[in-house]
Amino acid sequence: MWRAVERGFVTKVDARYVFNGLRYGFDGGVVRDRLVGKGARIFKNYRSASDARSYVTKALLSRVNAGKTLVVGDWSSAMLVKLKSNFKDFTIFPLGAVKKALEDAYRPTSDHTRSQLNAATDLRYLKHSLDTYNEIAWNLLNGYFMRVSDVKDAFPTLPLVPWLWPFFMCRFFMTDGSDKSSLLMHLFADFGAAGFPGVFYVFFVKVVVNMARSELVLTLPMPIYVDDMGLIGRIQSEVDAMMRSFQLWAVAVVGIAFKWLKDKVAARRQLMVGFWWDSVARTRTLEERKLASYLDMLQDFMTRRVLSLVERQQVAGRMIRGVMTLPPGASCFLSNMFNLARGLRLPWQAAHDQVRTWRLSHSL
Measured CA to CA, the distance from residue 98 to residue 104 in angstroms comes to 11
Measured CA to CA, the distance from residue 11 to residue 1 in angstroms comes to 10
CB neighbourhood size of 87 (10 A): 15
Please, are residues 162 and 86 in contact by the beta-carbon 8 Å criterion? no
- The full DSSP string for 148-175 is EEEBSSSGGGSBBPGGGGGGSEEEE-SS
For 74-84, b/e burial (b = at least 16 CB within 10 A) is: ebeeeeeeebe
pLDDT digit string (tens) for the chain, length 364 residues: 999 999 999 999 999 999 999 999 999 999 999 999 989 999 999 999 999 999 999 999 999 999 999 999 999 999 999 999 999 999 999 999 988 765 677 889 999 999 999 999 999 999 999 999 999 999 999 999 999 999 998 999 999 999 999 999 999 999 988 889 999 999 999 999 999 999 999 999 999 999 999 999 999 999 999 999 999 999 999 999 999 999 999 999 999 999 988 899 999 999 999 899 999 999 999 988 888 888 888 888 888 777 777 777 788 888 888 888 888 788 787 777 777 666 666 655 666 544 444 444 445 5
pLDDT value of residue 3: 97
Amino acid at 336: N
pLDDT value of residue 147: 98
Please, are residues 154 and 254 in contact by the beta-carbon 8 Å criterion? no
Please, are residues 160 and 127 in contact by the beta-carbon 8 Å criterion? no
Amino acid at 342: R
pLDDT value of residue 73: 95
pLDDT value of residue 102: 58
pLDDT value of residue 357: 44
Query: Parallel, antiparallel, or unpaired for β 40-42 and 90-92?
Result: parallel
Task: Please give the sequence-ordered ranges of beta strands (E in DSSP) within the chain, or none if there are none.
Answer: 40-42, 69-74, 90-92, 95-99, 106-110, 145-150, 169-172, 182-186, 224-225, 228-233, 264-267, 269-272, 275-278, 283-286, 306-308, 350-352
For 316-355, b/e burial (b = at least 16 CB within 10 A) is: eebbebbbbbeeeebeebbeebeebbeebeeeeebbeeeb
